[in-house]
Amino acid sequence: MKVQQLSIFLENRAGRLAEVTELLGKAEINIRALSLADTSDFGILRVVVNKPEKAVRILEENGFTVAGTEVLVVEIDDKPGGLARVLKILNARDINVEYMYAFMEKLTDRALLIFRIEDMEGAIELLRDKGIKILTKKEVSSI
Partner 1 sequence: MIWNEQIEYLPPEKMERLQSERLRKLVKYVLNNSIFYRNLFKEAGISARDIKHISDLKKLPFTRKADLRDNYPFQMFCVPLREVVEIHASSGTTGNPTVVAYTKNDIKLWSEVMARTLAIAGATPDDIVQNAYGYGLFTGGLGVHYGALELGASVIPMSSGGTKRQLKIMRDFKSTVLTCTPSYALFMAEEAREMDINPRESSLRIGVLGAEPWSDGLRREIEAAWGMTALDVYGLSEIIGPGVAQECPEKTGLHIYSDVFFPEVIDPETGEPVEEGEDGELVITTLTKEAIPLIRYRIGDIVNINYERCSCGRTLPRISKIKGRTDDMLIIRGINVFPSQIESVLLEVEGAQPHYLLVVDRVKGLDTLEIQVEVGEEVFSDEIRKLQQLSEKIKKEIESVLALSVEVKLVEPKTIERSMGKAKRVIDKRKK
Residues forming contacts to partner 1 in the complex (CB under 8 A) are 7, 9-11, 37-39, 41-42, 44, 46, 63-67, 69, 98, 116
For partner 1, the closer of residues 39 and 108 by Cβ is 39
Q: In what order do the strands lie in the sheet with 2-11?
A: 31-38, 42-49, 2-11, 66-77, 110-117, 97-102
Q: How far is the CB of 36 from partner 1 (least distance, A)?
A: 11
Residues 70, 13 contacting (CB under 8 angstroms): no
Question: Residue 114 Cβ, how far from partner 1 at the closest point, in Å?
Answer: 12
CA pair distance 102, 82, nearest whole angstrom: 13
CB of 7 to partner 1, least distance (A): 4
Q: Which is nearer to partner 1, 70 or 78 (CB)?
A: 70
Q: Report CA 75 to chain centroid distance, whole Å.
A: 13
**Shortest Å distance, C-beta 121 to partner 1:** 18
Closer by beta carbon to partner 1, 40 or else 108: 40
Within 10 A of 123 (CB to CB), how many other CB atoms are there? 24
Torsion angle of C-alpha atoms 2, 48, 95, 9, degrees rounded to 10: 120
Whichever of 46 and 75 has its CB closer to partner 1, that residue is: 46
Question: Residue 13 gets which letter from DSSP?
Answer: -
Least distance to partner 1, CB of residue 28, Å: 24
- State which residue, 10 or 112, has the beta carbon closest to partner 1: 10
